[in-house]
Each structure stands twice: as structure tokens, then as C-alpha cells.
């Protein structure tokens, strides 16, 4: 069963803390893994092979874990329908990664060759589409218009986020508001949907459902803010891909957006890096030093902390139990990943 306790790469959690949290739902996660394998299976040989390649590539199943924990914390029993929806969320997440790697021309995903690098863009596009359709086919079987409405809205927002980001590739005039909009669409809304669906499947009332939606949204924002920093301050082993890749792919994230505000003279150097795909005129280490010197790293960490605090406060609507306690620990753990 890949991924659960050998938690590594980009979504790193401290091993001991991760073990305590994931141990609460280990049997549920095992069922999700089996369901993911079932959903990724096909009588078309190439699809079956690619599905197994993606499934076995690792990943922490963080999104399905959030759905499961939220369901348990809200009084649910993680029945078969909950497990199916948790697998659906992982398939949707995997589909977005496949398509993102094509758009970004990424060669590595979770320290393995990406689908597009290994099998070509045409195969990767079709595999991503197949994952989306398979996820929705499973979701349809639940006969819940409420959940389908969340999933269709989520998929639209994620696609819009990717399209908006494409219009910003290579641009140094991207604003903080632009970046935060992309961040919410591409990352935070998926976290939010996982938590809200977990509450819905537990039969929770509307106040709990809305609180879990907010919890996931703030968690996703904090997670991505930490990810933006980690791309600049982490290393290849931690990231599972080349460090500093966002800028090389033409993406200016919040740390550098903030740096350009105080150092407009950097615009030409950053444009050159994005255009040429190399750190020529200024190194990643030099950018890290500038971020520290101008207090930008501390400023972004403060914003992460604000979102983690809001996320944890949203959990106050839940009865106190071990699952709520686990959810309370996750925000701080995600943003304290290795820098």
C-alpha cells in the first residue's frame, strides 16, 4: 500500500505526527487505496497500465484523508460511500497533476518520470481526461445532486485557475490578488470540497458543513503559501522535483511578487529566468537571501499562521474527539514542512 506512512516529498509531515494522525484512519485509507485501484482499472490495457503507474507513484492521499477525518469528526462511520468519494477526490487530484505536468512541461512528479515525460503529451492528456470521467462516473453512482454540484463547481474552478495561470506565465506584473485567486482555484477549493463532502456524508447540519468548507479553504491557502516558499527554499529531495521550478516554468508566486514590489529593479532578471528557463543573472540562493533581508519570508509565514488559526477555529463547531484533534494538528504540520 504505497504512500501512507512513508510520507515524503512535497507534502511532508513529521513522521511521528503523521503516524499518529493517519493511524486513526489506517483501515479506512486501506479501503480507499483498494477503491482507487478498482476505479483506475480498465479492460483497455494501456489505461490499466497507466492507472497503476499513477496509483503506485506515491502521494500521501492527503485529500482523501481529510474527507475521511472530517467524516469521522462530524459523526460519520466512513461507510462504503464515503470511501468511494474519498477515492474520487484522489482521482480528481491525480487528473489535475497529469494535466498540470503537460502544461508545465514537467519531467518529474513525486521523484518519478511524469506521465507526459514517459509516455508523451497525447497519452497524458487522454489519461487525465479518463481519470476525470471515471471520477465523475463513480460520483454519479451516489445519486447525490448536492455532491455532484460541489464536484462540478470544483472542476470548473480548477480548470479556470489553470487557464488564468496560463495567461500569467512569464509575466512580472502579476498582482498578489491574481496569484491568490489562482491559488484558491487550483489548490484550496479541492481541500474545501473534501472537507465539506466529508461532513455532508456524515449527515452533519448546515453550520457544520459550512464550517468544514471554511476549514478546508483556509487549510488549502496555508498549504499553498507554504508550498510557494518551499519551492524557493527547499531542495530537490524534499520537493520531489527540481527546486525553484515555479520560476523556471514562468510562474511568479507570492514571495517574488512581494519582492518585486520592494525591488522593481529585479523585474528584468526575473523575466530573463522565466524566458530562458535558467537562473543566469541571479541565483536562487541570492533570491532567498533577498527574501530574508526584506522580511518577506517572515511576512508570508505570518499569513500562513493566520490561515491555520482560522482553520483551527472553524473546527470548534465539532464535538471534541480524537478525529477533531487530528484535524486541529494538520494545519500547523503542513505549513511547518521542511523549508
Extents of the domains making up the chain = 9-335
Distance CA 238, CA 241 (A): 8
Q: What is the pLDDT along the chain (339 residues), one digit of tens a residue?
A: 334 333 333 444 546 777 888 899 999 999 999 998 888 877 777 777 677 777 666 567 899 999 999 999 999 999 999 999 999 999 999 888 888 888 877 777 655 777 787 778 888 888 888 888 888 998 998 889 999 999 999 999 999 999 999 999 999 999 999 999 999 999 999 999 999 999 999 999 999 999 999 999 999 999 999 999 998 887 655 544 556 789 998 999 999 999 999 999 999 999 999 999 888 888 889 999 999 999 999 999 999 999 999 999 999 999 999 999 999 999 988 887 644
Element housing 216 (H / E) = helix 206-233
Q: Would you call 234 exposed, middle or buried from its count of C-beta atoms within 10 A (0-12, 13-18, 19+)?
A: buried
Q: Choose which CATH entry (1.10.600.10, 3.40.630.30, 3.40.980.10, 1.10.630.10) describes domain 9-335.
A: 1.10.600.10
Q: State phi, psi for 217 to the nearest 5 degrees.
A: -65, -50
Name the 3-class secondary structure at 173.
coil
CA 114 to chain CA centroid, Å, is: 17
Strand partners, 112: 109
Amino acid at each position: 500500500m504505497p504512500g501512507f506512512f512513508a510520507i515524503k516529498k512535497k507534502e511532508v509531515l513529521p513522521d511521528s505526527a503523521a503516524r499518529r494522525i493517519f493511524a486513526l484512519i489506517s483501515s479506512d485509507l486501506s479501503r480507499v487505496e483498494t477503491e482507487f485501484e478498482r476505479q483506475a482499472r480498465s479492460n483497455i490495457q494501456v489505461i490499466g497500465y497507466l492507472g497503476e503507474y499513477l496509483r503506485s507513484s506515491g502521494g500521501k492521499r492527503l485529500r482523501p484523508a481529510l474527507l475521511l477525518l472530517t467524516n469521522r469528526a462530524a459523526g460519520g462511520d466512513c461507510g462504503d460511500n464515503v470511501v468511494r468519494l474519498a477515492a474520487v477526490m484522489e482521482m480528481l487530484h491525480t487528473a489535475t497533476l497529469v494535466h498540470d505536468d503537460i502544461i508545465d512541461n514537467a519531467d518529474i512528479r513525486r521523484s518519478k518520470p511524469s506521465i507526459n515525460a514517459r509516455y508523451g503529451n497525447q497519452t497524458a492528456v487522454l489519461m487525465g481526461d479518463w481519470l476525470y470521467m471515471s471520477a465523475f462516473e463513480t460520483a454519479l453512482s451516489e445519486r447525490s445532486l448536492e455532491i455532484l454540484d460541489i464536484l462540478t463547481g470544483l472542476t470548473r474552478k480548477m480548470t479556470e485557475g489553470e487557464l488564468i495561470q496560463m495567461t500569467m506565465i512569464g509575466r512580472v506584473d502579476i498582482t498578489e490578488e491574481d496569484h491568490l485567486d489562482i491559488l484558491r482555484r487550483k489548490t484550496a477549493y479541492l481541500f474545501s470540497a473534501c472537507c465539506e463532502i466529508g461532513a455532508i456524508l456524515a449527515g452533519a447540519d448546515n453550520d457544520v458543513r459550512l464550517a468544514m468548507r471554511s476549514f478546508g479553504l483556509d487549510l488549502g491557502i496555508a498549504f499553498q503559501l507554504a508550498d510557494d516558499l518551499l519551492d524557493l527554499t527547499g531542495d530537490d529531495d524534499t520537493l520531489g522535483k527540481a527546486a525553484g521550478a515555479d520560476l523556471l516554468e514562468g510562474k511568479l508566486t507570492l514571495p517574488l511578487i512581494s519582492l518585486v514590489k520592494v525591488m522593481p529593479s529585479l523585474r528584468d532578471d526575473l523575466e530573463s529566468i522565466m524566458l530562458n528557463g535558467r537562473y543566469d543573472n541571479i541565483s536562487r540562493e541570492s533570491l532567498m537571501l533577498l527574501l530574508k533581508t526584506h522580511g518577506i519570508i517572515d511576512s508570508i509565514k505570518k499569513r500562513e499562521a493566520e490561515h491555520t488559526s482560522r482553520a483551527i477555529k472553524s473546527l470548534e463547531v465539532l464535538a471534541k474527539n480524537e478525529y477533531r484533534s487530528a484535524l486541529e494538528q494538520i494545519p500547523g504540520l503542513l505549513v511547518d514542512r521542511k523549508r
